[in-house]
Chains A and B, each alone.
Chain A
Amino acid sequence: MNESLHASVKQSVKLLIVESLMLEDVAPEQIVDDAPLFGEGLGLDSIDALELAIAIDKRFGVKIEAEDERNREIFRSVASLTAHIAANKTRG
């Protein structure tokens, strides 16, 4: 996997999280790569997950299916989300 591509996707994922979810008290660079997104860590909820999935589709062209059993794994952290997007993205 291309290192610089990975880093740039990671940056935009963090930006996307902060912007699309309107997190007011978090800056993109404050998000830790391996920290859990839901529950502890960032404390996102299931509606945040939906909004994030829509934003990711718009930005990278990566569709996230509702029935996909890997969703929990994909959405575990910024790192896992980045890996999934980098592997599947069609734009951005």
Chain B
Amino acid sequence: MVVRPSGPPSVHEGRGEQSPTLDERGEPQRPPALEHGVLCPRAELAGLPVARSAAGSLALSRGGRLDAAIRFGRGMGVALAILFFWSGAFVLAWLVVPYVYLRERDRLRRRRRMQRVVAAAWRWFHRQLDRTTLYRVVYEGLSEHDGEAPAVLVANHPSLLDVTAIISRMPSTCCVVKSSLMTSPLVGRLLRSLGHVSAGDGSLMSGAAVLDGVHDRLREGFPVLVFPEGTRSPMGGMHPFRRGAFEIAQRAGVPVVPLFLRCEPPALGKGTPVWRHPRRCPTLTVHVGGPLDTNGPEPRGLCKNVERSFRGRLGLVAAATATSAHSSAAERPGETVK
């Protein structure tokens, strides 16, 4: 078994050209050397179960027990990471937020300070996930000053860690967040201190408050991240976009910046149990598109066009499970607006 030497992130370049074939579980099949050598280069260093996954493919002849053990180990790893994530959020919410509130009087400076702390925390968290080959993020087209000027960032939402991945690199980003999280006793105060906007309770007129909230953030100079699908994307596809994000961008006179997200192999998606974490290291590619002028086009048309460009760019993945996208559209919760 050839295991390529571990390398810096440059090994990730050009992966976009590969078009994996899908097996019946919907997981792409690749040559083992590529799987474990290129995508999880640091597995052996980390000394984690996955480090033996190259041997694991040999063990298939022995009934796949090693394989099952590796999968179990990775599932446990993710469960631990999630536990750690929430504990960290809890500490931030109940120790760091009060501390910063005492130290800093000005509301906006307080928010900026919280944002820096939290972005550093998520960066650290993602570094650990990267080290343990549980989850990896690659950024494309991200320049130094992205995420500083007010803009509406729109993204598809393939996995649970999209937001932390984006905020790691664009710390001042405010998001439209599910209302149940915003009012949660555990992390609600953290999210509110960061300037996130509640998505409302889904009642017919609750959209007005969301529009106002996002408009305030933009006027204060923060970029705002919106998932126009309103929830996480269905496996391999996308819900239709709602036009609220584009409407606000136009009203506030700021550009729309598309963030094309792609998680390969799919992980931490909607309705996927945590213990089914893929054996190969999931890599989230965040591609920052060029800003779109919102001055001219009518928001409804702009929304349609942007949705089309998302479907086009993510086409490889979308085509594979187009049917599941349809079937799960009906299950979409009504808790978010637009």
- Chain A residues with CB under 8 Å of B44's CB are none
- Chain B residues with CB under 8 Å of A45's CB are 242-243, 338
Q: 8 Å CB contacts to B: which residues of A47-65?
A: 47, 49-50, 53, 64-65
Q: A45-B242, A45-B243, A47-B244 given as contacts; is B207 within 8 A of A69 (CB)?
A: no
- Which of A46, A64, A68 sits near B337, CB closer than 8 Å? A46
Quote the shortest CB–CB distance from A7 to chain B (angstroms): 26
What mask results when residues 59 to 81 of chain A are scored 1 for a CB within 8 Å of chain B, else 0? 00000111111011001000000
CA distance A66 to B212 in the complex (A): 13
Q: Is the CB of B207 within 8 A of A47?
A: yes
Q: Is the C-beta of B204 less than 8 angstroms from some C-beta in chain A?
A: yes
Q: Is the C-beta of B1 less than 8 angstroms from some C-beta in chain A?
A: no
CA distance A79 to B211 in the complex (A): 28
- Chain A residues with CB under 8 Å of B247's CB are 47
Q: Is the CB of B203 within 8 A of A71?
A: yes
- Chain B residues with CB under 8 Å of A65's CB are 205
Residue pairs across A and B with CB atoms within 8 Å: the count is: 43
Q: Tell me the interface secondary structure of chain B in the complex.
A: loop
State how many residues of chain B have any CB contact under 8 Å with chain A.
14
CA distance A71 to B139 in the complex (A): 43
Q: Is the CB of A71 within 8 A of B338?
A: no
- Chain A residues with CB under 8 Å of B207's CB are 46-47, 49-50
Quote the shortest CB–CB distance from A41 to chain B (angstroms): 15
Quote the shortest CB–CB distance from B304 to chain A (angstroms): 13
Q: Is the CB of A47 within 8 A of B243?
A: yes
Q: Is the CB of A50 within 8 A of B243?
A: no
Q: A46-B337, A46-B338 given as contacts; is B204 within 8 A of A72 (CB)?
A: yes
State how many residues of chain A have any CB contact under 8 Å with chain B.
16
Among B208, B211, B244, B338: residue with most chain A CB under 10 A:
B208
- Chain B residues with CB under 8 Å of A72's CB are 203-204
Quote the shortest CB–CB distance from B103 to chain A (angstroms): 36
Q: Is the CB of A53 within 8 A of B242?
A: no
Q: Is the CB of B338 within 8 A of A66?
A: no
A45 nearest in chain B by CB position: B242
B200 nearest in chain A by CB position: A46
Q: Is the CB of A66 within 8 A of B243?
A: no
- Chain A residues with CB under 8 Å of B338's CB are 45-47
- Which of B203, B242, B244, B337 sits near A69, CB closer than 8 Å? B203
Q: 8 Å CB contacts to A: which residues of B226-244?
A: 242-244
Q: Is the C-beta of B209 less than 8 angstroms from some C-beta in chain A?
A: yes
Q: A69-B203, A75-B204 given as contacts; is B244 within 8 A of A46 (CB)?
A: yes
Q: Is the CB of A50 within 8 A of B203?
A: no
A64 nearest in chain B by CB position: B205
- Chain B residues with CB under 8 Å of A66's CB are 203, 205-206, 208-209
Q: Is the CB of A53 within 8 A of B203?
A: no
- Chain A residues with CB under 8 Å of B203's CB are 66-67, 69, 71-72
CA distance A65 to B244 in the complex (A): 20
Q: 8 Å CB contacts to B: which residues of A1-52?
A: 38, 45-47, 49-50
Quote the shortest CB–CB distance from A59 to chain B (angstroms): 18
Q: 8 Å CB contacts to A: which residues of B177-214?
A: 203-209, 211
Q: 8 Å CB contacts to A: which residues of B241-281?
A: 242-244, 247
- Chain A residues with CB under 8 Å of B242's CB are 45-46
In the complex, the 7 A-B pairs of residues with the closest C-beta atoms, listed nearest first = A66-B205, A46-B207, A71-B204, A49-B204, A50-B208, A46-B337, A72-B204
**A positions within 8 Å CB-CB of B:** 38, 45-47, 49-50, 53, 64-69, 71-72, 75
What are 12 A-B contacts defined by CB distance under 8 Å?
Answer: A46-B205, A46-B206, A46-B207, A46-B338, A47-B207, A47-B211, A47-B338, A50-B211, A66-B203, A66-B208, A66-B209, A71-B205
